[in-house]
Amino acid sequence: MAQQADAAGRELTMSRAMVEAIAHEMREDEEVFVMGEDVADYGGIFGSTDGLLAEFGRDRVMDVPISETSFVGAGVGAAQAGMRPIVELMFVDFFGVCMDQIYNNMAKNTYMSGGSVNVPMVLMTAVGGSYNDAAQHSQTLYGTFAHLPGMKVVVPSTAYDAKGLMHNAVRDDDPVVYMFHKRLMGLGWMPSPAGPKTDVPEEPYSIPFGEADVKREGEDVTVVTLGLHVHRALEAADELSRTDGIDTEVVDLRTLKPLDTETVVDSVRKTGRLVVVDEDYRSYGVTGEIVARVAEGALSDLEAVERVAIPDVPIPYARPLEEAVNPGVEDIADAIRATR
């Protein structure tokens, strides 16, 4: 477990932990600024920028028109000019409005320039469902961003990780897509599960990209997941430990690019069984990628594989429909049992 015992018992929500990291980086470096829809007075629809306006003012916490192409692209231009913008795309579902700026400019300019141009920006965006907001406001889309080269993709699951990964994201010289799950943020109107609120040190610290975290050690089966589903997998693991005597290891990927293949493969070498859980669509996504990496790295150790993901349909609205497609604790427990 990477949760630090020396955090002096100061628990934060994930959104407060993110804001703390952003505020620290803004104090340290005048070139860091925040731009997005409703990030100033509102503090971010999901609390990701709450309180920044009061300390830093409108020049550094900028509300912008609802026109994602222009302000995401302006982030690219400011980053290429040497600044360090943090740009919020309110819902990841809106990426279609501005995808050209994301994958043709932000992600490719470093490569197309032969390394002479850097784009040190953070594109911060809310992902995930489980609150009945239907197909245009509930997607996760990890696979879409991790598939396209040129950007680093970060998905925190706890307040501790969220802060350390944000420090690293702002300091990174490359474009980082920082995807936070709405249900982990600790919002009053969208209750979080117990897990994401953790002890968080007051001082800054950095969690390097490409280091998965074993959130629960176990001997019998490996569950690889990320974001909200780390907590659902942990709950399933505890349940199975009591009811079935199955000892489950839960690996939290934390970053999709770069991907820590070694921790995943090592875990499967130990357990021989792999379950991949993802809130993104099943086809051509994280589940397929992880299974492929394990097949490449530990084929002879692999005794069973199960995938739990959104079947290939848009996210439905009605509660029973969404619950049917979004992997729940029981779905994960069933998949773990199925590997036996």
User: What residues line the site for other proteins (CB under 8 A)?
Assistant: 33, 59-60, 62, 64-65, 67, 69-83, 85, 100-101, 104-105, 109-118, 120, 149-150, 152, 173-174, 208-211, 257-263
Nearer to other proteins by Cβ, of 104 and 132: the residue is 104
Q: CB of residue 308 vs other proteins: minimum separation in angstroms?
A: 24
Nearer to other proteins, 65 or 188 (CB): 65
Residue listed under structure tokens 């911060």: 124
Sorted by sequence, the CB contacts under 8 Å of residue 57 that are 6+ apart come out as none
| DSSP per-residue string spanning 38-54 | T-SSS--TTSTTTTHHH
Nearer Cβ to other proteins (264/274): 264
Does residue 229 carry a catalytic annotation? no
CB of 32 to other proteins, least distance (A): 11
The type of residue at 216 is: R
Maximum separation of any 2 CA atoms in the chain, in Å = 58
Which candidate, 266, 242, 248, places its Cα nearest to that of 306?
248
Decide if 270 contacts 303 (C-beta within 8 A).
Answer: no
CB atoms < 10 A from the CB of 273, how many?
24
Instruction: Compute CA 75 distance to the chain's CA centroid, rounded to the nearest angstrom.
Output: 20
CB closer to other proteins, 62 vs 276: 62
Closest separation between CB of residue 291 and other proteins, Å? 16
Do the beta carbons of residue 75 and residue 106 sit within 8 Å? yes
Given the residues 24, 137, 181, 229, the one annotated as active site: 137
Nearer to other proteins, 11 or 266 (CB): 266
From the CB of 6, what's the least distance to other proteins, in Å?
Answer: 21
Which two three-digit tokens encode residue 83?
A: 């600044």
Residue written as token pair 């990701």: 48
Count of C-beta atoms within a 10 Å radius of residue 217: 13
| Least distance in angstroms from the C-beta of 327 to other proteins | 25
Of 278, 326, 316, 322, which is closest to residue 141 (Cα–Cα)?
Answer: 278
Active site residues: 137
